[in-house]
Amino acid sequence: MYPPSYISMLEKRNTIPLVRSFPQADEPRLILLTSELESLAVALKDPNAKLPGRPLSRHFASLAQKMHFMDTNGIDISVISLANPWFDFLDPAEAAGIADSVNQEFSDMCTKHVGRLFFFAALPLSAPVEAIKASIQNVKNLSHCRGIILGTSGLGKGLDDPDLLPIFQAVANANLLVFLHPHYGLPNEVYGPRGQEYGHVLPLALGFPMETTIAVARMYMAGVFDEVRNLQMLLAHSGGTLPFLAGRIESCIVHDGHLVKQGSVPKNRRTIWTVLKEQIYLDAVIYSEVGLQAAIASSGADRLMFGTDHPFFPPIEEDDQGPWDSSSLNAQAVAKAVGDGSNEAAAILGLNAVHVLNLKAE
């Protein structure tokens, strides 16, 4: 979700992320991707031009709408969070204060629906390290907080940055799970000169999953999971392409002469398969049983958790007050992958999250 205070902040910005209103649109638009900047400049001058970004509907900021979505789609409990890009873009001097305020807003939302809502907090990663650690302690003491949502930039240099290790350790010591979600995608040029003709399909369907895959592979190669053995991570979109490509990553590691000669590939090392089964959980936002079966094979049905990506991927032509395909398709994928009504389905659709995230109200 984007609380009203967060949207107001984006409306005042001149660089992405930003929110802009257009006279030809009923709702303001959220511009997150650099690929949208060119069409933004055109739309501000031409009222007939295609609008950039996506509409900020009531689903993004209204708590009542969130509860309606849950009720309509048969969801008893949700773990909500601030959506990307979180606080990555904030000035270091103001980041901690804004983060504490927004995290408190999420805690207050949960207080209004005790037992039905929990949340992942967001950290002020542009702030000094000690301020980030203080924020971790603050959210640990918020009774409805169950983890930290994190993007792939970390402190600005990626998740394999050695300077991020104390943050990972502090989060792990606070018994908070890290929910990793992409935001930056891949450089626009990888989609080719006609990439913009295909809407958001290439950045969202390919760029986001590959961003997650690359970020976690870098963490593994840098030894982050060995350095912080109590770190637990939940990867968005069923781990990007990690379940499918883990075998190829392993093969490239053991066949890399440079790594082998420098002693980076000892025989007793933990493989990426081991890390997937010991320190990584996957959400089930993959929209097909084929992708879900790969996720199950890599991490296990006891490490998958159902998700919806709400409020993204809303119905286009249907009434958005009814069930959403982005929710039902993921539920159908679970049923097809492990059997409708099976113990594994019950685990993926809720019991895993209840157990792992302690989704129980006092």
- Residue pair 148/139 in contact by the 8 Å Cβ criterion: yes
Query: Reading across the β-sheet that carries 233-235, which strands appear in turn?
Result: 78-81, 117-122, 145-150, 177-180, 233-235, 280-283, 304-305
Which CA distances in Å does 162 have to 51, 127, 223? 41, 16, 10
For residue 207, count other CB atoms closer than 10 A to its CB.
22
Q: Identify any residues that bridge with 30 across adjacent strands, giving them in sequence order.
A: 19, 54
pTM of the model: 0.94
At position 316, the amino acid (one-letter code) is: I
Tell me, what's the pLDDT at 254? Answer: 95
Q: What pLDDT digit, counting tens, does each position of 237-276 carry?
A: 999 999 999 999 999 999 999 999 999 999 899 999 999 9
Query: DSSP characters for 316-335?
Result: SSS-TTS--HHHHHHHHHHH
Structure-token pair, residue 76: 């008893």
Closest CA to 311 of 86, 82, 105: 82
How much is the pLDDT for 361? Answer: 66
Q: Are 167 and 137 in contact (CB under 8 A)?
A: no
Q: What are phi and psi of 52, to 5 degrees?
A: -85, 170
- Give the pLDDT of residue 54: 85
Q: What is the Cα–Cα distance from 302 to 60, expressed in whole angstroms? A: 30
Confidence at residue 362, expressed as pLDDT on a 0 to 100 scale: 59
285: exposed, middle or buried (Cβ count in 10 Å: 0-12, 13-18, 19+): buried
Q: Which ranges of the chain does DSSP label H, i.e. alpha helix?
A: 4-11, 37-45, 58-61, 63-72, 92-112, 129-140, 165-173, 201-202, 208-221, 224-227, 242-254, 257-261, 272-278, 289-299, 325-338, 343-346, 352-356
pLDDT at 47 (0 to 100): 84
Q: What confidence tens digit (pLDDT) does each residue in 294-304 have?
A: 999 999 999 99
- CA angle, residues 60, 31, 317, in degrees to nearest 5: 55
* Residue in the structure block whose two tokens are 């849950």: 70
71: how many CB neighbours lie within 10 A of its CB?
11
Of 225, 79, 65, 93, which Cα lies nearest the Cα of 147?
Answer: 79
Name residues of the chain where pLDDT drops below 50.
none
pLDDT of residue 37: 82
What secondary structure letter does DSSP report for 180?
Answer: E
